[in-house]
Structure 1
Amino acid sequence: MTTIAYLTPQYFDDKSYVGGGERYPLNLAMGVAESTPKDMQIRILSFGPEPFVRELHPGVTLRVMQAAYTPRHPLDQLSWEIVDALNDVDLVHIMQAHTRCSEVGYLVSQMLDKPICVTDMGGYSSSLGQSFDAHHLIDCIICYSDFGAQMMRASRQLVTIKGGVDSRLFVPPVGKPKRDRILYVGRLLPHKGIDQLIQALPEGLALTCCGRPYNPEYFQLLQKLSRNKEVDFILDADDKTIRKLYGKAFAVVLPSVYRDCYGQSYVAPELMGLTLLEAMACGTPAICNRVAAMPEFVRQGETGFVYDNLEELTGYLKRVSTEADLPDQMGRAARKLVETEFDMRVCGQKLASIYRQILRARNAQDTLREAA
């Protein structure tokens, strides 16, 4: 049985973080495990105040290593257990390319002579790896969007595998959906552009914003903008609640921006936009800003809309909420697209094939080295 380690500074759990950046490694792990039940298992390695191991899914285990210290940046996690945790695996896939956690992961994996894959998930807390050109240690860079691939200056093999949503967990509601609102799902942070969505909301149309407020000042601004509008906030929704909300929405909107309301700029505000895919899997149209990778996942006028300004956004919100058959028609096309192209099992099959290629190449190198 081949063991693949996913090294990630945070994991998908209330005790860690619960955003798309944490759900994505879990979905990939389940996709690989389900597509290779007899020959591959995934070990997710992360960090916490107390060590533990538990099974998350058939073929997928989570090992939380005891953190060596409390870092100033949550992506800079380290543990004295990392050498032991990686010692018996066959390949290391590092989630987050530019963190202290990833830098130590590169070095320990190299020391243990393990093949290395890496996925840039947008987190950035350290440039040390760039200064010693850590990319020369990597066997393959795996991106989940063309936008993300363009950002990686890579001399190594680079592969793009788009998607990673669980279309068996996120499914359309039974019967004809009773749609009554616009929905936003994600962290309540300035670069997500929720303030612009509230401003673009047509009069009389309800909006639900579902996510955790990690920035108190920004959350206060959102509440202020919501006065005299039909906007409500759900701060602690679980998957069951989110799936129900997806099914009730005319559309899900991801309004992320390159420049937020405070003037802060972002090079890569969205490397994919997993909530768009979750909504589409539930048979709900997706609407996004023409920013970063998001337009790669929405087929204009077929599975949703991509807008260039707030006037366009307002127009699309009016269309999906007033044209009776449009949300259901787009939702069916969106569901089909997710099933065929973006489901985690489709991604898992592609990823497992990449792992096999890397391991075969490494085994061939070892054989030649021994023969010499």
Structure 2
Amino acid sequence: MHIAIVTPRQFGDDAKGGGERYVTELSAALKKIGISNEVLEIPRLRSWRCDSAEIGFSELWSRIRKADVLHIHQLNSPGFDIGAVIARINRVPIVLTDHGGGFICPGRLLGRARLLCVSAAAYVSAWSSYDIDPHKRIRNHTLIYGGGDHVTAAPEIDSIVDFAVVGRILPHKGAHIAIEALPDSASLRIVGQVRDSEYYKYLARIAEGKRVTFVPDADDAEVAQTYKDARYILCPSVTSYGGHVYSRPELLGLVALESLAVGTPVIGSRVGGLAETLERFSQQTVEAGSVKAWRETLQNSLTNQASSESVNARGEVTWESVAVRCQRVYSSVLQSRRGQIGVVDA
């Protein structure tokens, strides 16, 4: 079995979001369980790479045509537009996984009609299934969730911070809520790439006079150390900011899985797949965007440390388990395809 994985970008350099990380870790996990695969990056309609090396369109066509299954990550993307067409012409079954967000691309004009060419959906959360296919056009679908055990082992704890926010500095991630809700004398560390400089300046302003530190260029080791240092990891994602409404909230919450894999409890907003992930592991959820509710929850967490010592989810949030679920999906669509071919041949 050989899988061609299509994604806008892989994790690394400036591509450090959850979607990029997801594909990179899944590819490695599939190889570990014996599933041959290669990653095809299609960031634009006329830009194609295979395992980070530039390739021409004829090679892209050949690699998809030779695959047993094409696993496309991100519905609203050039990768879906191009990959789905090539796969359909060459009768290669398509598995779809979506991570929220997306790009402005021609395929959007077709709306949900695009789903008719998908053989199976591998959802990172039940919320994602409602978001992508509320009318269940894709009959073969399953939950594959996500992993967190890619976080490298952190060194011994040097210092303790009460709370930490890990993630790109963007308004919808809600770091401003964590700052505004921070109890007096409590400490907060914000770790992540600055993707919105104006928002970052705003965060710095409202953090003045508080015990807030920013680490804008942390590497994997520093992120792992933060998970170990913090008493709680916060995921204060919001559904609106500055008049803009985010119609597709967090579909999974990879930061939460990373934290739980390390053993640090999480407090997160009650939005989308993030809430689903937190509830799955009995973590605290808070009304999104409510500074009052967040302040009360953070204050209570400081006086109730029992929950911060009871997290042991590492064995449940592995990439190997995600890869095994994907393997079942691939086997299912291949079995279905063989059956259809058999009927035609008969």
**Alignment TM-score, normalising by the size of structure 2:** 0.89
Deviation for aligned residue 1:294 = 1.1
Contact 1:166 1:343 in 2 (8 A): yes
Partner of 1:273 in structure 2? 253
Deviations 1:95-138 (A, max 9, x none): 10012221111101111211101112112223643544221111
Out of 343, 346, 355, the residue aligned to residue 321 of structure 2 is: 346
Q: What is the rounded CA distance, in whole Å, between the counterparts of 2:48 and 2:86 in structure 1?
A: 20
Identity level (%): 25
2:89 aligned with 1:111: yes
State the secondary structure of the residue aligned to 1:157.
coil
2:94 aligned with 1:95: no
Contact 2:2 2:67 in 1 (8 A): yes
Out of 285, 297, 301, the residue aligned to residue 306 of structure 1 is: 285
Q: Which residue identity lines up with residue 191 of structure 1 in the other structure?
A: H
Partner of 1:43 in structure 2? 38
Deviation for aligned residue 1:84 = 2.7
Matches within 5 A, 1:53-92: 62-66=51-55, 81-92=59-70
Partner of 2:125 in structure 1? 145
Partner of 2:149 in structure 1? 167
Partner of 1:9 in structure 2? 8
Out of 31, 34, 41, the residue aligned to residue 33 of structure 1 is: 31
Deviation for aligned residue 1:365 = 1.9
Deviation for aligned residue 1:370 = 2.8
Q: Which residue identity lines up with residue 60 of structure 2 in the other structure?
A: I
Contact 1:50 1:64 in 2 (8 A): no
Q: Which segments of structure 1 move beyond 4 Å, counting only runs of 4 or more?
A: 47-53, 170-174
State the secondary structure of the residue aligned to 2:244.
coil
Deviations 1:312-331 (A, max 9, x none): 221222233343443112xx
Contact 2:123 2:145 in 1 (8 A): no
State the secondary structure of the residue aligned to 2:232.
strand
**Alignment TM-score, normalising by the size of structure 1:** 0.83
Contact 1:170 1:282 in 2 (8 A): no
* 5+ long unaligned stretches in structure 1: 54-61, 69-78
Q: What is the rounded CA distance, in whole Å, between the counterparts of 1:354 and 1:44 in structure 2?
A: 18
State the secondary structure of the residue aligned to 1:136.
helix
Q: What is the rounded CA distance, in whole Å, between the counterparts of 2:309 and 2:52 in structure 1?
A: 42
Task: Specify whether residues 52 and 126 from structure 1 end up closer, same or farther in structure 2 by C-alpha distance, changes over 3 A only.
Answer: closer
Q: What is the rounded CA distance, in whole Å, between the counterparts of 2:105 and 2:265 in structure 1?
A: 38
Q: What is the rounded CA distance, in whole Å, between the counterparts of 2:344 and 2:48 in structure 1?
A: 38
The number of aligned residues is: 338
Which moves more between the two structures, 83-92 or 353-362?
83-92
Q: Which residue identity lines up with residue 41 of structure 2 in the other structure?
A: S
Contact 1:285 1:327 in 2 (8 A): yes
Contact 1:143 1:161 in 2 (8 A): yes
Q: State the Cα RMSD in Å.
A: 2.5
Q: What is the rounded CA distance, in whole Å, between the counterparts of 2:212 and 2:294 in structure 1?
A: 17
Q: Which residue identity lines up with residue 305 of structure 1 in the other structure?
A: Q
Partner of 1:235 in structure 2? 216
* 5+ long unaligned stretches in structure 2: none
2:306 aligned with 1:360: no
Partner of 2:265 in structure 1? 285
State the secondary structure of the residue aligned to 2:141.
strand
Q: What is the rounded CA distance, in whole Å, between the counterparts of 2:36 and 2:125 in structure 1?
A: 25
Q: What is the rounded CA distance, in whole Å, between the counterparts of 1:50 and 1:143 in structure 2?
A: 27
Out of 223, 231, 238, the residue aligned to residue 204 of structure 2 is: 223
Partner of 1:157 in structure 2? 139
State the secondary structure of the residue aligned to 2:300.
helix
Contact 2:6 2:42 in 1 (8 A): no
